[in-house]
Amino acid sequence: MNNLPWWVQALRVSGLGWYVAACIILGILGGLWLDRHLGTSPMLTLVGVVAGTVLAFYGVYKMVQSMFNQGHKGGGR
């Protein structure tokens, strides 16, 4: 795909995993905190899970799109 060493590509992919995990966990924790303070359990926790998941997959899409675009700049038609 591109001329980066294998370990740099591996770090990029593992970074995507950490990004997904962080988005979902922060959504859950934020929802739990809001539920505890507003007494709306489990509604805002579910909203946090959905929001974190949507944010995670949108971010992964944009990051992967960027990686592929960088890979095609160096060579091609």
pLDDT digit string, tens, across residues 32-76: 999 999 999 999 999 999 999 999 999 999 988 987 887 666 554
pLDDT at 3: 77
Among residues 37, 54, 14, the alpha carbon closest in space to that of 29 is found at 37
pLDDT at 2: 64
pLDDT at 77: 45
pLDDT at 33: 97
**What proportions of the chain, in percent to the nearest 5, are helix, strand and coil?**
85, 0, 15
